[in-house]
Amino acid sequence: MGVRGGTRRTGLLLAALPALFLLGMVVAPLLRLALEAWQALDSAAVLERLQDTYLQRRLGWTLLQALATCLLALLIGVPVAWVLARRAFPGRALVLQLLTLPFVVPTLVAAMGVLALAGPRGWSAAWWGLHGQDTPWLLLYGNLFFNLCIVVRAAAEGLGRVSAARLAAARTLGATPWRAFWRIEWPALLPWLGSALCLVFLYAFSGFGLALVLGGQAYATIEVEIYTLVAHELQLATAGLLALLVLLLTGLVVLVHARFERQLATPARADAVPRSLPRGWQGRTAVVLALATLGLVCAAPILAILLQVAAAGSAAWAVLLEPQTLLALWNTVRFTLLALVLATLLGVTHALAARRSTALRAAAFLPFVVSPVTVAFGLLLLYPAWSASLPLLLAAYALLAYPFVANALGAALDALPAGVLQVARTLGASPARVFWRVTLPLVQPALRRGMAFAAATALGEFAVTLFLSRPEWSTLSTLIYERLGRPGAANRDEALVLAALLVLLAWLVFVLIDGPGRDRRSAPADGGLDA
The CATH number assigned to the domain holding 417 equals: 1.10.3720.10
Asked if residue 301 has pLDDT above 50, the reply is: yes
* Per-residue pLDDT at 412: 80
- The Cα-based distances of 390 to 75, 76, 462 in angstroms read 44, 43, 15
- Residue 339: pLDDT band with limits 50, 70, 90: very high
* Per-residue pLDDT at 5: 47
Question: Which residues fall within 8 angstroms of residue 413, CB to CB, at 6 or more apart?
Answer: 351, 352, 355, 439, 443
- Residue 283: pLDDT band with limits 50, 70, 90: confident
* Per-residue pLDDT at 531: 32
Phi then psi for residue 122, to 5 deg, are -85, 180
- Listed ranges 116-125, 142-151, 412-421, 511-520; the one with the highest mean pLDDT: 142-151
* Per-residue pLDDT at 309: 84
Q: At what angle do helices 53-86 and 236-264 cross, to 10 degrees?
A: 20
Is 199 inside a domain boundary?
A: yes
The answer to whether the beta carbons of residues 141 and 217 sit under 8 Å apart is no
User: How far is residue 281's CA from residue 274's CA, in Å, rounded to a whole number?
Assistant: 21
More confident residue, 149 or 5: 149
Q: List, for residues 398-448, the tens digit of each pLDDT value.
A: 998 888 888 888 878 777 776 665 665 665 566 666 666 667 777 788 888
CB crowding 424-457: b at 16 or more within 10 Å, else e: beeeebebeebbeebbeebbebbbbbbbbbbbbb
- Averaged pLDDT, 391-399: 91
* Per-residue pLDDT at 122: 73
Residue 393, number of CB atoms within 10 A of its CB: 25
Q: What is the DSSP letter of 1?
A: -
Is 135 inside a domain boundary?
A: yes
* Per-residue pLDDT at 70: 95
- Residue 268: pLDDT band with limits 50, 70, 90: low
Q: What is the DSSP letter of 163?
A: B
More confident residue, 64 or 470: 64
User: How far is residue 36's CA from residue 129's CA, in Å, rounded to a whole number?
Assistant: 49
More confident residue, 356 or 20: 20
Indicate the range of 135-144, 334-343, 514-523 predicted with least confidence. 514-523
User: How far is residue 195's CA from residue 200's CA, in Å, rounded to a whole number?
Assistant: 9
Q: Kindly report the CA angle at 304 between 301 and 307, in degrees rounded to 5?
A: 155
Domain enclosing residue 104, as ranges: 10-513
**Alpha helices (H) along 129-235:** 137-160, 164-172, 177-180, 186-206, 209-214, 222-231
- Averaged pLDDT, 367-389: 82
Is 378 inside a domain boundary?
A: yes
Three-state secondary-structure class, residue 276:
strand
- The Cα-based distances of 131 to 40, 73, 113, 118, 295 in angstroms read 43, 22, 13, 5, 19
pLDDT mean across residues, the chain: 80
- Averaged pLDDT, 490-516: 78
Is 520 inside a domain boundary?
A: no
Is 519 inside a domain boundary?
A: no
User: How far is residue 496's CA from residue 414's CA, in Å, rounded to a whole number?
Assistant: 43
How much of the chain is helix, strand and coil, in % rounded to 5? 80, 0, 20
The answer to whether the beta carbons of residues 311 and 98 sit under 8 Å apart is no
Residues 422, 425, 426, 429, CA torsion sign: positive
Asked if residue 516 has pLDDT above 70, the reply is: no
Instruction: Calculate Rg over the CA atoms of the chain.
Output: 24
Beta bridge partners of 87: 276
H-run or E-run covering 80: helix 53-86
Indicate the range of 44-53, 104-113, 213-222 predicted with least confidence. 44-53
For a pLDDT cut of 70, what percent of the chain falls above it? 84
User: How far is residue 365's CA from residue 525's CA, in Å, rounded to a whole number?
Assistant: 10
* Per-residue pLDDT at 422: 61
Asked if residue 358 has pLDDT above 80, the reply is: no
Give the pTM.
0.81
Q: List, for residues 220-258, the tens digit of each pLDDT value.
A: 888 888 888 877 777 777 778 888 888 888 888 878 877
The answer to whether the beta carbons of residues 508 and 104 sit under 8 Å apart is no
* Per-residue pLDDT at 397: 92
Report the candidate in 369, 446, 444 with the shortest Cα–Cα distance to residue 407: 446
Is 526 inside a domain boundary?
A: no
Query: Burial, 385: exposed, middle or buried (Cβ in 10 Å; 0-12, 13-18, 19+)?
Result: exposed
Asked if residue 196 has pLDDT above 70, the reply is: yes
More confident residue, 331 or 133: 331
Cα atoms found within 13 Å of the Cα of residue 124, Cβ hemisphere only: 16
- Listed ranges 156-170, 327-341, 461-475; the one with the highest mean pLDDT: 327-341
For a pLDDT cut of 90, what percent of the chain falls above it? 12
* Per-residue pLDDT at 134: 74
**Alpha helices (H) along 383-426:** 390-414, 418-426
Q: Tally the domains of the chain.
A: 1
The answer to whether the beta carbons of residues 527 and 155 sit under 8 Å apart is no
More confident residue, 404 or 175: 404
Beta bridge partners of 276: 87
Question: Which residues fall within 8 angstroms of residue 111, CB to CB, at 6 or more apart?
Answer: 142, 209, 210, 212, 213, 214
Indicate the range of 122-136, 186-200, 321-335 predicted with least confidence. 122-136
* Per-residue pLDDT at 530: 33
Beta bridge partners of 61: none
- The Cα-based distances of 295 to 134, 289, 290 in angstroms read 25, 10, 9
Is 108 inside a domain boundary?
A: yes
* Per-residue pLDDT at 173: 78
